[in-house]
Each structure stands twice: as structure tokens, then as C-alpha cells.
Amino acid sequence: FKQPSFESRTIDTNKMATASMQRIRELLRDHPSPIIKDGNIEFDSDNQALWIPCTQLTDYKSRRGAGDWYTADSIVFLAIHGDIPFRDYAEKCRAAGVSRVQVIDRDEILSYVRFKADGASGLVAGGAAAQVAPQASSHALDVRDSQLTDSKLTTATLATEAVTEKVPTDKKAEVSGNSVAAVPRKDLKREADDISAAGH
């Protein structure tokens, strides 16, 4: 069984730089009409420092913290279209190719990004990057423990082989740990002589 590499379980590094909800709501407050195009959210078309990649993960988990991370475009798209009926909003998401926000999170997210609330149940400090780090540490410990175990097994095997190598062939069964005890050559000859004498 091959242990999957830690790299295969990490989130894409482009998405690990979390777009914080605090940052997004401040940008929405200062630039209330962002444009979503070419894979970016442009809060100010003339200032690329105020652009956020659409697929960048936020620090908000869907289903009030029990689901997946929302991407920046999902949050911003809701902020832009949050005042229309949810069914119409969902249709707009489909047409724009943006993942919609869950209905259970809608009001809470809108309250947060519009500064009507200072917290929300789906907010997770540090976002996705903060939760990847413990996996790295855990993987490192798994690798270390595996290496220590392999080292101990190798040491024990070498020790057994060294002892076995020094023992005469007829006594190796004793070293190998088998239940059959080895009998020295002299004892075998004496036993054969005794049987032969008893036969006469």
C-alpha cells in the first residue's frame, strides 16, 4: 500500500492565499460596483491591486461552517444581486457560471458584507490555508514515525542475522526462534550409537 503524498492532498497554492471576508466587505463598501471578468473581480479597473481572482477561496464556509469554502466571486456576486428573489439570483448565477451561495447562508452573508453584522457562523479564522497546515504537520509526523519503525526493524534484523551467522549450522534453528531445538552433532552420534546397541 503506497501512502499518498502530502502534495496530492493540498489545496492549489493559488487558492490558499485566502481572500478574507473582511477585505471583501471593505472593498465592496469603497467600490460598490465591481466588475467580474476574465477570471478576476475588479473593484477598480484602473488599479490591479484591488483585483481578486474569482476562484480564490474566502474564509467563509458554506452551510454555516459545515460545508465547503466559498470563492470570492460567489460572495461578490451575491452582494451585487442579493436584493432580488433567490430564484432569480440562482438563475443569474447559472448564466454567469458562478457558484451560488446556499440559501441558508444568504441573509447572514449579506448582513456581514453590508456591515450590518460584525460576525457570521460560517467565518473561520485564517480560512483554508490555516486548516491545511495541521495536515502538513500530521504528515511529517507520520513520515517520521514510519522511518523510526523501519529503522528499528532493520536494526533488529541485522542483529539477528549477525548472531545467526556466528552460530554453527546445526544450532541455527535455536537462534531463528523456531520451536524445534537444535541438537549438537556429538549428541546425535551418541543417540545413534545407543539405538544401535539396544538393537543388539
Q: pLDDT, tens digit, for every residue of 86-111?
A: 999 999 999 999 999 999 999 999 99
Beta strands in the chain (DSSP E): 35-37, 40-42, 51-53, 57-61, 69-71
**CA–CA gap between residue 174 and residue 182 (Å, rounded):** 6
And the C-alpha cell for 82?
Answer: 442579493
And the C-alpha cell for 11?
Answer: 489545496
Look up the pTM and report it. 0.59
Can you say whether the dihedral through the CA atoms of 145, 150, 153, 156 is positive or negative?
A: negative
Q: Is 46 helix (H, G, I), strand (E, B) or coil?
A: coil
pLDDT at 193: 58
| Mean pLDDT within 29-52 | 94
Q: In this structure, are residues 63 and 104 in contact, taking their beta carbons and an 8 Å threshold?
A: yes
And the C-alpha cell for 8?
Answer: 496530492
Least confident of 4-8, 13-17, 99-103, 188-192: 4-8
Q: In this structure, how many other beta carbons lie within 10 angstroms of the beta carbon of residue 163?
A: 11
pLDDT at 199: 52
Mean pLDDT for the chain overall: 74
